Each structure stands twice: as C-alpha cells, then as structure tokens.
Amino acid sequence: MKSLSDRPVYLISDLHLDAGRESTIQLLLDFLRGPASRARALYILGDLFEAWIGDDAAGPMEDRVADALKSLSETGVELFFMAGNRDFLVGDDYCRRAGMRRIVEPFELDQTDPAAVLMHGDILCTDDHAYQRFRRKVRNPDWQRRVLSRPLWWRRILASLARSISRRQNRNKPEFIMDVNTDAVAETFARHDVEWLIHGHTHRPAIHDLEIDGKPCRRVVLGDWHAERGSAVRIDNGQVELLSLDRNAKDHIALTPLTPES
Ligand code: MN
C-alpha cells in the first residue's frame, strides 16, 4: 500500500446527479469505491448535483451520495467541494454529512506537483453578460439567506422558473458565448503563479496548450458525466492526466487518458 502522500489526487465535476439518472449515480458510487479509494484527495469542482434548493430538500438520492462520500472520507481520503452554477446552494450541513470541506474558487491547489488553480468554470464565461449578472445576484450571501428562509414549495417554483428561463436564453446564444473567454483565462494565469488551470462547466473535455506572456500554460477542462461515462483529472507524480471513465468488461471502473490538444 502506498503511503497517503504518494497517492494521486482526483478531480471531478459536472456529474449533474439527479434521482432519475441512476446509472450516473452508480458510476459515482463505483468510482468512490474504486479509484477514489486509493487517492489522497478528491476535489469536486461543482455541479455535483443537477439542482439544489437547500439542504432541507435533500432526498434519498442525496442521502446515498452523502453516505458514500462520508464513508470514503472516513478512510482518510480528503474530500473537497466547490460550488457550481447548479448546486451553489449546497450548505455546510450537507458538506458535513458528506465529510467534504468547502473550497471557494479560484482555489490554489499547491499540495500537488504540479500546482494548479481550480475553478468551476462559469466565472470564465465573461462573454455571457446576462449570465454573469445572474451569477452575481445568486452568489450574494444576503440573496441566498433570503431565498433559503422561504418555504420549500416556493423555492421549488423559483428553481423551475429559473431553469426554464435559462433554457430559453441558452437556446438563442451563439456557441462562443457559452465557452470561456480568452482574456479571462489569461487574467487567471496572470493572477496565480501556476502553469495549470483545471475547471469544468463547459462540458468540452480537453487539454489546451497555451502560451501566456511567454509562459507555457495548460488549461484542462473536465467533461460532464452521463449514463455510463464520466470524466476525471488525476494528478500524480508530476503528471496531470485527463481521463475518461468507463465501466470495463469486469464491471470495474476503467480510466483512459485523453491526449493533449491545442
Ligand atoms: Mn456548470
């Protein structure tokens, strides 16, 4: 058995867990029992859940996920949770139940070789002005406190309204607006003394080789999880790999590296 500090660190995002998508939930539970159980730490970079309207609305699916995460954390694997644009209302209560520590973006991961800056990714989509306005509003602690003090039925209506508005708006947005902005990426590298940026959100898994101010940088985009396929980044022994996560013939989790592209 490798000592804890020699073990890899895994990062995942955009699982969009929903009670109606059992195969993705199963894939996560198998990932937690498999590769993640041999890790030093697991970082969840947002959108673990498709929707979240308060810890008090957690049902059997959310309980199962919390139990599985908690058992993993009790074996010594450190768990970290960063909010995404769908589950930004996940609270301290749920994090405690799941054995996760909350981290806030941009988060500098300096316990690994190489170091990296971590984000969910939506904050980099600065071309989408309407979304950034919405984001500023709903990430405001006062707004969140007000909303969370409302009854559950009211929050359910608000969430379904927000979803249908966002669906309608996104249908009419050109592709580039939904992706990260080049200047926002360059600013992130300028502000943090790291060569790696890892984020999710756009569901466009890739490793982008960049040169910013004469310095080589890499932006790694995690993919989303759906049905029997997931995505993860592994940092191990000075290496960063973007992995596709599938079930192999023996019903084990298979991790296949994706190659860099520009
Ligand atoms: Mn997202």
How confident is the model over 85-94, as pLDDT tens digits? 999 999 999 9
Centre of ligand 1 from the C-alpha of residue 154, in Å: 23
Angle in degrees, CA 148, 151, 153, rounded to 5: 115
Phi-psi region of 209 (alpha: psi -120 to 50; beta: other; left: phi over 0): beta
The domain limits of the chain are 4-258
Centre of ligand 1 from the C-alpha of residue 6, in Å: 31
Helix, strand or coil, per DSSP, at residue 187: helix
Residue 180 near residue 121, CB atoms below 8 Å: yes
How confident is the model over 110-133, as pLDDT tens digits? 989 999 999 999 999 999 999 999
| pLDDT at residue number 139 | 95
The two structure tokens encoding residue 135: 């984001």
Angle in degrees, CA 7, 9, 15, rounded to 5: 140
For range 184-191, the mean pLDDT? 96
- Split at pLDDT 50, 70, 90, the class of 2 is low
Centre of ligand 1 from the C-alpha of residue 48, in Å: 9
- Split at pLDDT 50, 70, 90, the class of 262 is very low
Domain 4-258 has CATH 3.60.21.10: yes
Centre of ligand 1 from the C-alpha of residue 105, in Å: 13
CA distance 187 to 87: 26
Centre of ligand 1 from the C-alpha of residue 249, in Å: 31
C-alpha closest to that of 102 among 86, 90, 117, 118:
90
Centre of ligand 1 from the C-alpha of residue 222, in Å: 11
In DSSP terms, which residues pair with 52 in a beta bridge?
A: none
Q: Ligand 1 (ion): which residues have CB within 5 A?
A: 47, 84-85, 201
Centre of ligand 1 from the C-alpha of residue 155, in Å: 20
Centre of ligand 1 from the C-alpha of residue 13, in Å: 8
| pLDDT at residue number 236 | 95
